Amino acid sequence: MKHGKTACEWCLTECDNDHLQCKKCGGPITVLEPWVLQCGWCSSSNRRDLTTNCNSCGGELPHIPGTPRLPEPPVAPRFLAPGYENRIRYWKNPSFLVGAIFCIFLFPGLCVWPMLIFPLIGLFILRWSIKKSNHKLNALKSGVPTRGIILDVFIDMNQHINNRNPVRIDYEFDTPDGNYTDYVNVWDETNLRRPAGEHLWIVFNPKNPAENNIWPPLS
Ligand SMILES: [Zn+2]
Ligand SMILES: [Zn+2]
């Protein structure tokens, strides 16, 4: 895990990364050491202290942990980094791949009828999976921006994917009907440096807040 070293821009007191303001004078925190963050659109690593957009796909990068959130997201309909949509729908979508594998049993199922149960299950999984990725993509493309607050960031020991545990980020955001709480699993462990109380942008569908995503997405 890479950590940045930070200090106050005004009085140069060295501060902890998880402070949003200087503990001595309240000044803004500046990063002394390089921050490497993964792009939420394509997972490439970037020196976030040198660039605001990914060197690989051009997508907007997340803000450095412990610093104020970015300016408001662009106006909808938003442009998503190239290749992102297909990764979310298919290649980086485990439920889509599982559904597709179940559907392959359609062919033996045509000869051995009881096996038709597998493609049927496959179709259900595919339908659910497409709906889920549409929610995410719709929120990113045309969701309404609102303030989100991180509630907790921790390694989720209950989930293992390829022998790794994801970092789980619990967050809540304002909606016309009150606060809505959700979470996201990410892999970039730099996100563990994001303190509870840190502000983010959430883009969401006011008619269905379950359609929401952090803007820009985290990796
Ligand atoms: Zn200071
Ligand atoms: Zn990228």
Supply φ then ψ for residue 183, to 5 degrees.
Answer: -145, 165
Domain ranges of the chain: 6-76+143-215, 84-138
Supply φ then ψ for residue 173, to 5 degrees.
Answer: -145, 160
In this prediction, residue 17 carries a pLDDT of 62
In this prediction, residue 95 carries a pLDDT of 92
Q: Give the separation between CA 180 and CA 200, rounded to whole angstroms.
A: 14
pLDDT below 50 — which residues of the chain?
Answer: 1-2
Beta strands in the chain (DSSP E): 6-8, 14-15, 29-31, 36-38, 45-47, 144-155, 167-175, 178-186, 199-205, 208-215
The complex's ipTM? 0.57
In this prediction, residue 31 carries a pLDDT of 67
Q: Which amino acid is at 26?
A: G
Q: Which ligand is nearest to the CA of 58?
A: 2
Going from the Cα of 136 to the center of ligand 1, the distance in angstroms, rounded, reads 40
Angle at 90 between CA 97 and CA 74, to 5 degrees: 150
Going from the Cα of 184 to the center of ligand 2, the distance in angstroms, rounded, reads 19
Going from the Cα of 100 to the center of ligand 2, the distance in angstroms, rounded, reads 27
In this prediction, residue 34 carries a pLDDT of 72
Going from the Cα of 202 to the center of ligand 1, the distance in angstroms, rounded, reads 30
Q: Which ligand is nearest to the CA of 45?
A: 2
In this prediction, residue 202 carries a pLDDT of 97
Going from the Cα of 13 to the center of ligand 1, the distance in angstroms, rounded, reads 6
